[in-house]
Amino acid sequence: MPNETRRGWFHRKDDDDRSAATPVDGVQSEPASEADSTPNTRPDGAVGAILSASVDVPGEDSAAEIASDAPVEAPPVPETALSDDHAGQADADPIAPETSPVPVPASTVSTEAETPLAREVADHARRRQALASAPLPLPDRTRVFTISNQKGGVGKTTTTVNLAAALALSGAKVLVIDLDPQGNASTALGVEHRSDTASVYDVIIGDSPLGDVIQASPEAGDLSCVPATIHLAGAEIELVSLVAREQRLRRALDLHLKQMEEPYDYVFIDCPPSLGLLTINAFVAANEVLIPIQCEYYALEGLSQLLKNIELIEKHLNPELNVSTILLTMYDSRTNLANQVAQDVRDHFPQQVLATIIPRSVRVSEAPSYGQSVIGYDPGSSGSLSYLEAAAEIARRGAPIIEGARR
């Protein structure tokens, strides 16, 4: 396209010629020199306003100077303007022309520390400092938790593994009993659970001592695991014909704890997503129930039925059982549904729900594929910090017996 027809960034050439030839009132027009006839390349419009605010564009007078080949000399400095002390310095160093710095928007400086990323980093640092400054108390007796919810995919295994790892890192002695035939807790803790491995199936069905099947987890120093194998899938049918079928896990666990010189501080039993005999064995063996609840509607539907079953087991099989802890998991603060579910659960169970909420986190999902908990996989992630805070809250709560928990 010819230069004469361009618009926006450049003036039309004939417009510049007309503006140079048109006299101003009261001013005698002069013939345009070669420097004056140079097109003004200053941008117009909004873009030109932005560039003009930060870049000094030479005017007509300076354009003639730039166009000429003669060097620009600094203006003479009067002798009276200089003191005796600075006279020698003025002779030695020529005065450099002043240049105005490019202005920096004030909003960039003031809001740099208020970005979402900066706020998240500061929040993580504050939470880590709070966790490090307050050591966790150890219980005076073994606390046995059953982590249960008949709905699948609410974070039972993830909660079991990460709470156990967090408490073990704080100095507690922790045992995880994998009672789910899928064996996901065994995988996350990095212990062997192939079909020929001695597992919890041999304890419940074969009457093997619990100590013979315990494996040390590489996740933490005092963290151990009773693995689950595929054979556990048929245990539901085999338990039907056995004597005291609901008490088998409890008897094995109580016997093992009595034989230990230093019993475990915490025992976590990971249950399958059902209310069968394996889950009943876990309820009978425990004295506390931890219910993870996903912050979605379906997770609330089966909660009332789960609480009724816990009440029946407490009445007929285990009088010490109580719902001590409810943990909200997979929380997404961007959705109104998650906020509503969390508020509904807090309204119905104000004393059981932990203040800590486990957010949705990619790191939490990635950790099991590496045979680790999220605390070992990425200690600085939001999921890791949340589980550390939840473990600290559980440790400081003790084992409360709260009336009205069984609704």
Q: Which domains does the chain have, with CATH numbers?
A: 146-397 (3.40.50.300)
- The C-alpha atoms of residue 152 and residue 273 are separated, in whole angstroms, by 5
The pLDDT score that the predictor gives to residue 101 is 54
The H helix count followed by the E strand count for the chain is 18, 8
DSSP 231: G
Per-residue tokens: 359? 């957010």
What is the three-state SS of 71-127? CCCCCCCCHHHCCHHHHHHHHHCCCCCCCCCCCCCHHHHHCHHHCHHHHHHHHHHHH
Cross-sheet strand order for the sheet of 143-147: 215-216, 223-226, 174-178, 266-270, 143-147, 288-294, 323-331, 353-359
- The C-alpha atoms of residue 38 and residue 46 are separated, in whole angstroms, by 23
**CA distances (Å), 151 to each of 101, 114, 116, 185, 302, in order?**
64, 40, 35, 17, 7
Q: What is the chain's length?
A: 407
- The C-alpha atoms of residue 260 and residue 279 are separated, in whole angstroms, by 25
- The C-alpha atoms of residue 377 and residue 165 are separated, in whole angstroms, by 11
Per-residue tokens: 342? 């969390």
The pLDDT score that the predictor gives to residue 109 is 44
The pLDDT score that the predictor gives to residue 298 is 79
| Statement: the pTM of the whole predicted model exceeds 0.75 | no
Looking at the DSSP assignment, which residues form a beta bridge with residue 175? 224, 267
- DSSP SS3 for 215: strand
The pLDDT score that the predictor gives to residue 67 is 43
Mean pLDDT by 10 residues, the chain (407 residues): 45 48 46 45 44 44 45 49 45 49 50 70 78 82 93 89 94 95 92 90 93 92 92 90 91 95 94 90 95 85 85 92 93 87 90 92 89 89 92 81 39
Residues 392, 398 contacting (CB under 8 angstroms) = no
Burial of 30 (0-12, 13-18, 19+ CB in 10 A): exposed
- The C-alpha atoms of residue 325 and residue 402 are separated, in whole angstroms, by 10
